[in-house]
Amino acid sequence: MSAATIPETVRRLLASQPIELPIFHPVALKLQKMLSDYDFTVDEVAQVANEDMSLASQMLKIANSPMYMGRSKVATIKEAVIRLGAQQVINLVIAASQASAHSSTNPALNHYMKELWLHSHGCALGAKWLANSCGMRGVAEETYLAALLHDVGKLYLLKSIERLVTAGVINSMFDDELITEIFEVMHVEQGFRLMQHWNFPTMYCDIIHDHHAEEWDTANKMLAIVRLVNIACSRIGLGLKHKPDLVLIATKEAETLDITDTQIIELESMLEESREAVLEG
């Protein structure tokens, strides 16, 4: 597929939508900025996270779910900051806001958003697990966030389509082939544009920019993890793609990370668990 087969008017309309579409919650952006500036206290993080009580409640629900905390429960945002650390709390706030953002009153678009959330959430948990498994525990939380947001350009495009359909600018009749092509042609550039606009750190922008690139920096182990987990999701059908014939151990990403067949089996099992956790939640 090529960009030429997407109607140019549709491409232009999608690319020109306001960057302020509801992709990131203001509280999540404020916390991310605090962390990037290294300018915060435990009380300040808790205060900002509590600015939106529905978001804070959703964050605590996620924090206390088996996929995140297991037996160790937290009752307040401040307790979460103290016990988990600021980066993990900010990750949970962003995850909570992203979970709520992946929905639409348009049934067709809602289907894509729900599948996209299964994929992004699974990628995040899988990437964090793989970072720990590969001896990169020190950047496991950053790797989680990079994987959580790697496909944010797809969410932006879906929100753009939703806005244009609601306004009657484009027809509400769209098929899987067109949506797939729009994603393949536009989601990386739009995701990269979003992350730069919101001043996310370069390491996250780089991963969004290169998570599908044919030529990529194999010295960037975080990128290798996100790419491999993304491929693993496609292999097991977690999200919008299902390519069961993929052989993960034969990929450049697996070679770069020097991982084993056992690790791949455990990763796929973890991804399946993440699917069940979201569906049960």
Please state which architecture CATH assigns to domain 3-18+103-280.
Orthogonal Bundle (1.10)
Average pLDDT value for residue range 141-154: 96
Calpha distance 269→214 (Å, rounded): 27
pLDDT tens for residues 182-231? Answer: 999 999 999 999 999 999 999 999 999 999 999 999 999 999 999 999 99
Decide if pLDDT at 4 tops 70. Answer: no
pLDDT given for residue 169 in this prediction: 87
Decide if pLDDT at 170 tops 70. Answer: yes
Q: Categorize the per-residue pLDDT at 1 as very low, low, confident or very high, splitting at 50, 70 and 90.
A: very low
pLDDT tens for residues 32-75? Answer: 888 888 888 999 999 999 999 998 998 888 888 888 765 578 89
Phi-psi region of 26 (alpha: psi -120 to 50; beta: other; left: phi over 0): alpha
Average pLDDT value for residue range 97-108: 92
* Residue-wise DSSP of the chain: --GGGS-HHHHHHHHTS-TTSTTS-HHHHHHHHHHHHT---HHHHHHHHTTSHHHHHHHHHHHTSTTTTTT----SHHHHHHHH-HHHHHHHHHHHHHHHHS--SSHHHHHHHHHHHHHHHHHHHHHHHHHHHTT-GGGHHHHHHHHHTTTHHHHHHHHHHHHHHHTTSS-S---HHHHHHHHHHHHHHHHHHHHHHTT--HHHHHHHHHTT-SS--TT-HHHHHHHHHHHHHHHHT-SS---TT--GGGSHHHHHHT--HHHHHHHHHHHHHHHHHHHH-
Q: Please state whether the predicted TM-score (pTM) of the whole model is above 0.85.
A: yes
Average pLDDT value for residue range 154-175: 88
Decide if pLDDT at 93 tops 80. Answer: yes
pLDDT given for residue 141 in this prediction: 93
